[in-house]
Chains A and B, each alone.
Chain A
Amino acid sequence: MSTSSDPSVTDSKADRLPLSGRLGGLIGPDLGIVPVLIALVVLIIYFEVRSSVFLSADNVTNLFIQAVIFIFLGMAEVWLLLLGEIDLSLGWVAGMAGSIAAIYTNVQFHWPWWLAFLLALAFTTAIGALWGVIVVRLKLPSFIVTLAGSFIVEGVLLYILDHVFEGGGAPVQEDVLRNLTQGTLTPTFTWIFVVVVVAVSAVVMIVRERARRVAGLKVSPLYRIVAKLAALSALGIILAIVFNTNRGSFIPIRGMPFAVPLVFAVLAIYSFILARTKFGRYMYAIGGNSEAARRAGIPVNRYRIYAFMLGGFTAGIGGLFYVSRLGGYSSSSTDSTVVLYAVAAAVIGGTSLYGGRGKMTYPVVGGIILAVIINGLVLIQVSATMEFVVTGVVLLGAVTVDSLARRSQTLLK
C-alpha cells in the first residue's frame, strides 16, 4: 500500500528485484531517452561498419563540432516546446547573431569580442521577446508568428550582409570567435575537465541523497547512483581518450574542443533552472496545463514571453558557434535547412510537441543524432539528397514515439 506511511524505508523492494527489474528502475517509469540512445547506437554501428573512418578521433571531433549548432538550436526550441509553443525563426535568428558577432569583431569595427557577443545575444533575445509579445498580446499562434518572423529575419539578415556591410559577407577575423569551434583544451585540461565533471556530479548526488535520508524521505537505491556515475565516468574517459588522440596530419592537434565544455556548461545551467527552480517548475506547469497554472496564480503570459526570450538567447549562442565553424557568414553561405534542424534536434531527443515534457539533455542527444546522420551519410558517399530523407524518417519516428508515449500516459488515468 502506501509507502508514505513509512517513508524512512529505502527502496528495499527494488534492491531485491531481478536484473530486469533493476534495469527498469534505472530507466524510470517513462522510457525517456532510452529509445533515442538505442537509435543512436544503431546509427553509429551502421556507419562504422560501412566506413571505418567514422569512429576515428578526427571524425568524432568533427562530428561533435557539427552537432554543437544543432544542440544549441534544439535547446532553444526546448524552452518553447515545453510550453507547447514553437519558434520557426530560430535558424535565421542564429544566423543573425553569428553575423553580428562576425561583423563587429572584424578589422573594420574592432569591438572587443565580449561586447560583440553581448550585442549579438541581446539582439536575438530582443527578437524572441518581440515574437513573444506578439503571440501573447495579439493571441496569435506562435507557428504563424514565427514563420512570418523567419522570413523577416532572413530578409533583414541578407540585406545587412549585402548592403550595409560592404563585401557581401562577414568573415570571422577574431580569435575568440574562431576558437569557439577551432580551439581546444590541452590534453591535461581535457582530463581535468572530465575528472571535475564526474567529481562534482558525484558530490551533488551524494549530498542530495544524504539530505533526503536525514529528512526521513525515501532515497534512491545505491546501485542507481553508482550506475549513473559509472556511465558518466565511462563516457568521460572514452571522450577524453578520443579527443586526446592526435588528429592533425602535419602538426599534432590534441585535446577536447572548447565547444564541448561550453555546451556542457549551458546544459548544466539550463537543466538546473528547469529541474530545481520555481521558474522551471512553472515552465513545466504551464506546458502541462496552462489553465491550472493560471488558476494557481502563475503569470502565464509573462512566462511565455520569457520562453521566447530564452529561445532567442540560446539560438544566439548557437549562431556564434555556427559562424565560428563556417569561418564567416555571407548571403551565399546561408543554409535554410538549419532552421528546421532546431525543431528536429529537440523532438528527436524526445521533447514533446504537445508541451510539458522534455529536458535539456534531449536536444543534446538529438543534435548528436542529426550530426551522426549528416556526417555518416557523407562518409559512406550517399548522395546529399538522401540526408534529408533519412533525417525526415528519423524525425517521423521520433514524433510517432512521442505521440504513442502521450497516448499510453493518457490511458493510465
Chain B
Amino acid sequence: MSESVTGDRDLAGPVVGSDMGVDPSMLLSLRGISKNFGAVQALRHVDLDVPAGQVTALIGDNGAGKSTLIKAIAGIWEPSSGEKYWQGKKVDTHTPRDATNLGIATVYQDLALCDNLDIVGNMYLGFEATQHRVVLDEITMEKRTQQILRDLSVTTVQSVRQLVGSLSGGQRQAIAVARAVMRDAKLVIMDEPTAALGVTQTAQVLELIQTLASRGLGVLLISHNLNDVFAVADRIAVMYLGNLVSSGPISNYSMSSAVEFITTGTNARAA
C-alpha cells in the first residue's frame, strides 16, 4: 500500500467488505499495481480510483511512473502484480483491445493520427462504416463525424474533409479525443494533451476535457502543467518514484503543496 497517502480518503475507496475494498461507483480502481522492468521497479503498489464524470489529474516528475501506469491501464503492459477493477468488477486487460472493449480509450501524446487521411478517415480508422463490408459508406461516416464534433463543441475545423495534416495542434488533439468518444469510451486517458500547444489551443483542449467530464465520462489527465491541472481537474493523484504518494479532491491541494509532493514525495507542511 502507499503509506504516505494524505488528504481525505472518502473518494479513494473505503474498505467495504469484498473485492479488497473497491468502491463499485468508481469507474476504474487499481489495487496494489506493481510493475518491474528487470531490477527496476517502475510502479510500487499503486492504488488509484478514477470516478466517472470527473477529471482526475495524474501528476509527477519525469520518471515518476505516470506513463508506465497509464500503459498498464491501457493494456499495453501487464502489471507484475496487482488488480484492476472496472465499475467494481475485477478485470484483466491483457491487450489494448481488451481495454478498448471495456471502454478505456487512451489518447497518447503522438495522437496516432494519419496526416494523409481526412478527419472522417481518422475518426473511423479501423472501424469504417461499409456497404457489403467492403465499400466505404462515406455519407454515414461523414454525418456521424459532424455530429460528434458538434456534440463536443469542436467548432474550429472548417470541414470534416480536411486532411488531418493541415490541422493545428489543438484541433488534432480534439480529433483524437473525438475518435475515442465515438467508440463509446467511458474513460478517456489523455497523455500530456497540452504539452505542445500554444495558449489558445491549450484553452480549447481544456474546454474539451471539461465537456467530456460533463457528459459523464471519466477523464484521467496526465500533465506536467499544474496551471492546466488546477484549471480543469476535480481530483489529483501524485506519483513519486513509482509510488502513488497522494491523492484526493483538488480542494485538498494548493499549487505549492502539489509541487512539494511532486518534488519530494511528501508534504512536510501538510495541514
Which residues of A pack against B, CB within 8 Å?
1-5, 7, 29, 211-212, 215-218, 276-279, 281, 284-285, 287-289, 291-293, 295-298, 356-357, 409-410, 412-413
Contact A277 B136 (CB under 8 A): yes
CB contacts (< 8 Å) of B40 on chain A: these are none
CB contacts (< 8 Å) of B172 on chain A: these are 413
Q: Which of A1, A5, A276, A412 contacts B135 (CB 8 A)?
A: A276
Check if B182 is an interface residue, CB within 8 A of chain A.
Answer: no
> Can you report 17 residue pairs joining A to B where beta carbons are below 8 Å apart?
A2-B158, A3-B158, A4-B146, A276-B135, A279-B134, A281-B125, A284-B116, A285-B117, A288-B116, A291-B110, A293-B125, A293-B126, A296-B112, A296-B126, A297-B126, A409-B163, A413-B165
User: How long is the Cα–Cα vector from A288 to B110 in the complex, in angstroms?
Assistant: 14
Interface residues in B122-147 by Cβ distance below 8 A to A read: 125-128, 130, 133-136, 139, 142-143, 146
B127 to chain A, nearest CB (A): 8
Contact B114 A356 (CB under 8 A): yes
User: How long is the Cα–Cα vector from A312 to B155 in the complex, in angstroms?
Assistant: 46
Check if B150 is an interface residue, CB within 8 A of chain A.
Answer: yes
Give 9 A-B pairs besides A285-B117, A295-B112 with Cβ atoms closer than 8 angstroms.
Answer: A4-B146, A4-B159, A4-B160, A29-B163, A278-B134, A284-B116, A356-B116, A357-B116, A410-B165
User: How long is the Cα–Cα vector from A279 to B172 in the complex, in angstroms?
Assistant: 24
Q: In this complex, what residue of A is CB-closest to B160?
A: A4
Q: Mark B79-123, 1 if CB is under 8 A from A, else 0.
A: 000000000000000001100000000000011111111000100
CB contacts (< 8 Å) of A217 on chain B: these are 139, 142-143
A279 to chain B, nearest CB (A): 8
User: How long is the Cα–Cα vector from A356 to B110 in the complex, in angstroms?
Assistant: 18
Q: In this complex, what residue of A is CB-closest to B114?
A: A288
Check if B156 is an interface residue, CB within 8 A of chain A.
Answer: yes
Check if B5 is an interface residue, CB within 8 A of chain A.
Answer: no
Assuming the contacts A285-B121, A292-B125, A413-B167, asked whether A2 and B135 have C-beta atoms less than 8 A apart, the reply is no
Check if B26 is an interface residue, CB within 8 A of chain A.
Answer: no
Contact A216 B143 (CB under 8 A): yes
A217 to chain B, nearest CB (A): 6
Contact A409 B115 (CB under 8 A): yes
Contact B157 A2 (CB under 8 A): yes
Contact B168 A413 (CB under 8 A): yes
User: How long is the Cα–Cα vector from A356 to B165 in the complex, in angstroms?
Assistant: 12
Closest 9 CB pairs of A and B: A296-B126, A288-B114, A288-B116, A292-B112, A356-B116, A296-B125, A297-B126, A2-B155, A4-B146
Contact B165 A287 (CB under 8 A): no
A403 to chain B, nearest CB (A): 15
User: How long is the Cα–Cα vector from A180 to B158 in the complex, in angstroms?
Assistant: 48
Contact B139 A288 (CB under 8 A): no
Contact A215 B116 (CB under 8 A): no
Check if B60 is an interface residue, CB within 8 A of chain A.
Answer: no
A299 to chain B, nearest CB (A): 10
Q: In this complex, what residue of A is CB-closest to B143?
A: A215
User: How long is the Cα–Cα vector from A296 to B167 in the complex, in angstroms?
Assistant: 20
CB contacts (< 8 Å) of A292 on chain B: these are 111-114, 125
CB contacts (< 8 Å) of A413 on chain B: these are 115, 165-169, 172
Q: In this complex, what residue of B is CB-closest to A1?
A: B155
Contact A4 B157 (CB under 8 A): yes
Could you tell me the dominant secondary structure of chain B's interface residues? loop
User: How long is the Cα–Cα vector from A276 to B139 in the complex, in angstroms?
Assistant: 12
User: How long is the Cα–Cα vector from A412 to B163 in the complex, in angstroms?
Assistant: 11
Q: How many residues of B contact A (CB 8 A)?
A: 40
Q: In this complex, what residue of A is CB-closest to B128?
A: A278
Check if B149 is an interface residue, CB within 8 A of chain A.
Answer: yes
CB contacts (< 8 Å) of B97 on chain A: these are 297
A326 to chain B, nearest CB (A): 38
Interface centre among A212, A284, A289 (most CB of B within 10 A): A289
Contact A278 B136 (CB under 8 A): yes
A222 to chain B, nearest CB (A): 18
B143 to chain A, nearest CB (A): 6
B179 to chain A, nearest CB (A): 9
Q: In this complex, what residue of A is CB-closest to B96?
A: A295
Assuming the contacts A2-B158, A413-B165, asked whether A288 and B143 have C-beta atoms less than 8 A apart, the reply is no
B70 to chain A, nearest CB (A): 14
CB contacts (< 8 Å) of A1 on chain B: these are 155-156
Contact A218 B159 (CB under 8 A): yes
Contact B126 A288 (CB under 8 A): no
B221 to chain A, nearest CB (A): 20
Contact B168 A288 (CB under 8 A): no
Q: In this complex, what residue of B is CB-closest to A11?
A: B159
Contact B156 A2 (CB under 8 A): yes
Contact A284 B158 (CB under 8 A): no
Contact B116 A5 (CB under 8 A): no
User: How long is the Cα–Cα vector from A80 to B161 in the complex, in angstroms?
Assistant: 25
Q: In this complex, what residue of A is CB-closest to B147?
A: A4
Q: In this complex, what residue of B is CB-closest to A216?
A: B143
CB contacts (< 8 Å) of B111 on chain A: these are 292
Contact B136 A281 (CB under 8 A): yes
Q: Which of B115, B136, B150, B155 contacts A276 (CB 8 A)?
A: B136
User: How long is the Cα–Cα vector from A330 to B195 in the complex, in angstroms?
Assistant: 63
CB contacts (< 8 Å) of A277 on chain B: these are 134-136
A306 to chain B, nearest CB (A): 14
CB contacts (< 8 Å) of A412 on chain B: these are 165-166
User: How long is the Cα–Cα vector from A276 to B212 in the complex, in angstroms?
Assistant: 33
Contact A7 B136 (CB under 8 A): no
CB contacts (< 8 Å) of B150 on chain A: these are 4-5
CB contacts (< 8 Å) of A289 on chain B: these are 112-115
Assuming the contacts A2-B157, A215-B139, A277-B135, asked whether A288 and B166 have C-beta atoms less than 8 A apart, the reply is no
Contact B114 A285 (CB under 8 A): yes
Contact B114 A293 (CB under 8 A): yes
User: How long is the Cα–Cα vector from A296 to B111 in the complex, in angstroms?
Assistant: 12
User: How long is the Cα–Cα vector from A7 to B160 in the complex, in angstroms?
Assistant: 10
CB contacts (< 8 Å) of B130 on chain A: these are 278
